[in-house]
Structure 1
Amino acid sequence: MTLTQLKQRSLLGLKDLGKEEIESILERAAYWENHPVKVHSGQQGKFAANMFFENSTRTRFSFEVAEKRLGAEVINFSAAASSVEKGESIYDTVRTLESMGIDVGVIRLKPTGLLAELSSSIKVPLINAGDGNNEHPTQALLDLYTMRKQFGSLSGLNVAIVGDILHSRVARSNLWALRKFGANVSFCAPPNMQAPELDAPYITMDEALKADVVMMLRVQLERHESGMLKSAEAYREEYGLTVERAQRIAKHAIIMHPAPVNRDVEIDGELVEHPQSRIFPQMENGVPVRMAVIERALS
């Protein structure tokens, strides 16, 4: 496979992916969502490796279901119980699986920037399942898919993303992808969780509640230890989507969250399955979206 083909079939991020390409992935996801047969044989004999050097049960399960529905063989690799703990580098691990004959690698890792390096030396398509605080492209694709299903079009949509923008790869991928479709993205965050390098306006919580899409980000409670977060209660008080605040969102608006959810911190527990919440439908949409991305990598 040439480097150009590899690049075309990999999915490292949405910042540099064209609108047409994103559009075609979303169209293909719609095809898979409406396909009545649960398991297909199209990718039979192909091997997909899920290489998670950082934990994420939901994302890994979603990819695994997508791969199995396409008929691919699945290899799951989790760093916590692996040789990476013994000092083998991430590069060596990926190269090892490549040399064993995998056809696509789904990879999640902590260091930002390493994925781009890996992709230039690994000869199979790679799919980014979250890298550092850089990008999480399949999460943003399923978010766009969910919004499109709800509103028909993304153009002119007002999307408010609330939470720890500084460390959020979800916020970055959504910002870059939504802008290509003419959506207006604004952020709402405590001053020490803002990312000034991202070109988007910051608004108050009251203003965020006026958006068409109110997207809450997970609070990483471990930031409490580092002093970034005063307390979970104080965060909820200022930036949480409480039952009281949810009464102020527009009737047509939707609530989103990439999950896992810290109930009663960034969002009150009873709002997770509120009629305007799309949190579980987002997870549901993740499977056809990832089927489209895996298929694109293997075709």
Structure 2
Amino acid sequence: MSAPAFPHPHLLGIEGLSATDINSILDEAEPWIDFNRGKRKADGRLAGLTQINAFFENSTRTLFSFEIAGKRLGAQVSSFHPAASSVRKGESLIDTAQTLNAMRPDLIVIRHEANGAAAEVAAHVDCPVINAGDGQGEHPTQALLDALTIRRRFGRIEGLKVAICGDIRHSRVAGSNIRALPLLGAELRLVGPRALLPAALPEGVAAFTDFDEGIAGADVVMMLRIQRERLEAGLDDALGDYHARYGLTRARLAGAAPHAIVMHPGPMNRGVEIDGDLADDPARSAVLEQVEYGVAVRMACLDLLTRARR
């Protein structure tokens, strides 16, 4: 008997998913990790299907991860770059979506600077849509790969203390993790300058402006970069010596749990939110594991969302 299709037509965010939905994706991703470590990485289950990656913002990890994921599953993968498209001529997002839809893709992966862009595209196309990041909204596959990284390091997520540190207010990664990690049983803390914390906190989530207090006893310390491209005018200068107050160093990490791991979704600003030697320490840093597991998670998402079309 074949595995069931995903119970949602799209993956637009963590919001709307259950813990069962999330764990199902993580379980589906597990076998792909060993597959991706093998010598030959070819699986034909998406053969004959077309995947479009429509990235309106620059990306390294997410774009290449989705490209590799689709190709390893046998899909025909085409990547859309707005700089070489009619977007430069003033074409709207909806016109672009309808144009792509007329080419009969089987799945569209979209990254866009506007909140809600993925949902808007999903309303105008006839295939599944995966949100690869929308403005300051969500980045669901990043939260999924973060959850898988934590689960593989600790064997569980429930009961762990996770501190997300840095520019929470402008981070779509934080937006998805704030929804996913408590749903999976983690104790979540948000740590950063008051101006970079969310205006409202979800129930059960604690906020700290004192960095050392916020990461005290934490099992996972997840660092975020300052989203300078999204900061309000004047706030960038007001942050002052950010590294001195909120930068993660080896000495500061000593205040977390002895077994604590360090995570970062990238791109990293070494010497700003995190010291480079700590980011490169495989005993403490899970940064490259996040990248590796991201391919497996995205393979699982592509597979699950297209099962009904095969």
The verdict on a shared fold, with TM-score over 0.5 as the criterion, is yes
Query: Which residue pairs with 1:202 in the alignment?
Result: 207
Query: Which residue pairs with 1:212 in the alignment?
Result: 219
Residue 167 (structure 1) shift: 0.5
The count of residues paired between Structure 1 and Structure 2 equals 295
Segments of 4+ moved more than 3 angstroms: 221-225
Q: Given residue 205 of structure 1, which amino acid in structure 2 is its aligned partner?
A: F
Mapped partners of 2:160, 2:190: distance in 1: 14
Mapped partners of 1:161, 1:144: distance in 2: 13
Match of 1:239 among 241, 246, 271: 246
Query: Which residue pairs with 2:98 in the alignment?
Result: 95
* 1:95-134 matches, cutoff 5 A: 95-134=98-137
Match of 1:297 among 280, 305, 308: 305
Identity of aligned residues (%): 48
Give the stretch that moved more between structures: 70-79 or 138-147.
Answer: 70-79
- Structure 2 counterpart SS, 1:8: coil
Residue 69 (structure 1) shift: 0.7
Alignment of 1:282 with 2:287, yes or no, is no
Q: Deviations over 1:30-67 (max 9, x none)?
A: 01112344111111111100000111122100100100
Give the stretch that moved more between structures: 146-155 or 240-249.
Answer: 240-249
Q: Deviations over 1:147-170 (max 9, x none)?
A: 000111111111100011110111
CA gap of 1:225–1:23, structure 2 versus 1, over 3 A, is closer
Mapped partners of 1:119, 1:179: distance in 2: 27
Mapped partners of 2:110, 2:25: distance in 1: 19
Contact 2:221 2:260 in 1 (8 A): yes
Query: Which residue pairs with 1:139 in the alignment?
Result: 142
- Structure 2 counterpart SS, 1:75: strand
Residue 209 (structure 1) shift: 2.6
- Structure 1 counterpart SS, 2:118: helix
Mapped partners of 2:230, 2:136: distance in 1: 14
Residue 248 (structure 1) shift: 3.2
Q: Given residue 287 of structure 1, which amino acid in structure 2 is its aligned partner?
A: V
Give the stretch that moved more between structures: 245-254 or 167-176.
Answer: 245-254
CA gap of 1:290–1:6, structure 2 versus 1, over 3 A, is closer
Mapped partners of 1:242, 1:276: distance in 2: 12
Mapped partners of 2:58, 2:238: distance in 1: 24
Mapped partners of 2:285, 2:18: distance in 1: 29
Query: Which residue pairs with 2:26 in the alignment?
Result: 26
Residue 120 (structure 1) shift: 2.0
Which runs of 5 or more structure 2 residues have no equivalent in the other structure? none
Which runs of 5 or more structure 1 residues have no equivalent in the other structure? none
- Structure 1 counterpart SS, 2:169: coil
Query: Which residue pairs with 2:180 in the alignment?
Result: 177
* 1:79-90 matches, cutoff 5 A: 79-90=82-93
Mapped partners of 1:159, 1:17: distance in 2: 20
Question: TM (normalized to structure 1)?
Answer: 0.93
- Structure 2 counterpart SS, 1:9: coil
